[in-house]
């Protein structure tokens, strides 16, 4: 099938080729009505953009950016003195994001949201003045103030929803599937009374996917083996030990690694195993789910770059999630059940 060219669309729309080019790049210099009319006409005519040309034009549209390497800005709110991601999870996100950005020809630059004298408004001005339109929002602590940027200037993505920012496209872990996977792997190992414990705010942060996966998988068990999840404001030694003595689980699924210490202190470690919902590669003593954070970081960059190439900016009207599945890793904390 012959490729449709801009000149053919221009003739059909009774506009210039430059107007067609700007409309297909969704350029804000044209009225939205004009852009939509030309885009709809192009679709009806069977127009298919050349992805290499689209990427080049997206970069050339920003006079402050280099055609060889645009900049991807990463907004972080780490420790105010070290500017180092406080959690292994966060470091792994950025490792994957940086590698992917560089593979795609982008420079990777962090901007510290809490830098003294740097307001959200000032940060936005800096990004615009430097021609930076690709912006990734790293995880934001719950106590951090609202981030007030002019979001309409940027191609955006985040790793997680946050009350400090609008709802954006995001790449995140597929918590529901990983919870299901963990329970089923534990059942294969011979455990028969898997239990689930998390603080309530964390279950809400992941939109109840973890607990949803756990409860869905409990349907594989007879009612007598289904243990109600332990969801409290704070997961403490006292409530975990009491819960274990009442419900008699043989393995606990959680991301609160202190549970292992509490079980040992209560002399329950030989009766109750432990599996980590967020196992990191250096936690070789634990069984659990590796959330594949580097892949999540890379996926977030792909989301941004696809918008960048299509000249899409601002808060999306219909945000999309790219969900990355985790991987089960065996470990000493949950070996084969003695009862198996």
CATH code for the domain in which residue 12 is found? 1.10.260
Same domain, 142 and 181: no
Same domain, 202 and 277: yes
pLDDT of residue 118: 85
Q: pLDDT tens for residues 8-20?
A: 999 999 999 889 8
How many CB atoms sit inside 10 A of residue 201's CB?
11
| Residue 236: DSSP 8-state | -
Total-model pTM: 0.78
Environment class of 2 (CB within 10 Å of its CB; exposed 0-12, middle 13-18, buried 19+): exposed
Same domain, 273 and 213: yes
149 with 132: CB under 8 angstroms? Answer: no
Classify the C-alpha dihedral 91-307-161-210 as positive or negative.
negative
Residue 269 belongs to domain spanning:
175-291+328-334
Same domain, 182 and 278: yes
pLDDT over 80 (residue 217) = yes
Rounded to an integer, the average pLDDT of 34-41 is 90
- Determine, yes or no, domain membership for 59: no
Q: pLDDT tens for residues 227-266?
A: 988 888 788 899 999 999 999 999 999 988 999 999 999 9
- Determine, yes or no, domain membership for 54: no
- Determine, yes or no, domain membership for 66: no
- Determine, yes or no, domain membership for 65: no
Same domain, 201 and 232: yes
Same domain, 204 and 152: no
Q: How many domains does the chain have?
A: 3
Compute the mean pLDDT over every residue in the chain, rounded to the nearest whole number: 86
Same domain, 250 and 103: no
Between residues 138 and 55, the one the model is more confident about = 138
Between residues 209 and 62, the one the model is more confident about = 209
CATH assignment at residue 88: 3.40.50.2300
- Determine, yes or no, domain membership for 260: yes
- Determine, yes or no, domain membership for 55: no
Same domain, 38 and 103: no
How many CB atoms sit inside 10 A of residue 118's CB?
13
Greatest CA separation for the chain: 81
pLDDT over 60 (residue 6) = yes
pLDDT band at 177 (very low <50, low <70, confident <90, very high): very high
- Determine, yes or no, domain membership for 60: no
Same domain, 89 and 235: no
Same domain, 266 and 302: no
Share of the chain above pLDDT 70, in %: 89
């Amino acid at each position: 099938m012959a490729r449709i060219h801009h000149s053919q669309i221009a003739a059909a729309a009774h506009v210039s080729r430059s107007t067609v080019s700007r409309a297909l790049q969704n350029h804000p210099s044209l009225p939205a009505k004009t852009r939509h009319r030309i885009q709809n006409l192009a679709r009806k005519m069977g127009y298919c953009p050349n992805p290499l040309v689209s990427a080049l034009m997206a970069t050339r549209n920003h006079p402050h950016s280099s055609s060889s390497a645009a900049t991807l800005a990463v907004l972080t709110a780490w420790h105010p003195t070290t500017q180092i991601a406080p959690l292994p999870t966060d470091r792994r996100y950025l490792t994957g994001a940086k590698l992917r950005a560089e593979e795609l020809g982008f420079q990777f630059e962090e901007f510290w949201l809490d830098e003294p004298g740097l307001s959200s408004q000032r940060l936005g001005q800096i990004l615009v003045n430097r021609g930076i339109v690709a912006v990734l929002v790293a995880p934001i602590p719950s106590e951090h103030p609202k981030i007030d940027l002019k979001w309409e200037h940027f191609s955006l993505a985040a790793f997680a929803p946050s009350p400090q920012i609008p709802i954006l496209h995001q790449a995140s872990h597929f918590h529901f599937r990983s919870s299901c996977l963990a329970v089923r792997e534990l059942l294969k190992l011979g455990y028969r009374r898997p239990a689930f414990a998390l603080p309530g705010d964390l279950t809400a942060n992941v939109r109840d996917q973890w607990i949803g996966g756990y409860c869905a998988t409990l349907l594989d068990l007879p009612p007598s083996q289904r243990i109600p999840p332990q969801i409290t404001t704070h997961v403490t030694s006292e409530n975990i030990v009491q819960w274990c003595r009442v419900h008699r689980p043989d393995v606990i699924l959680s991301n609160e690694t202190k549970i292992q210490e509490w079980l040992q202190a209560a002399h329950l470690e030989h009766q109750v195993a432990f599996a980590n919902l967020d196992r990191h590669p250096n936690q070789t003593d634990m069984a659990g789910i590796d959330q594949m954070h580097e892949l999540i970081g890379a996926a977030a960059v792909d989301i941004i770059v696809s918008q960048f190439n299509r000249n899409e900016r601002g808060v999306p009207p219909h945000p999309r999630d790219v969900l990355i599945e985790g991987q089960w890793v065996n470990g000493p904390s949950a070996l084969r059940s003695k009862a198996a």
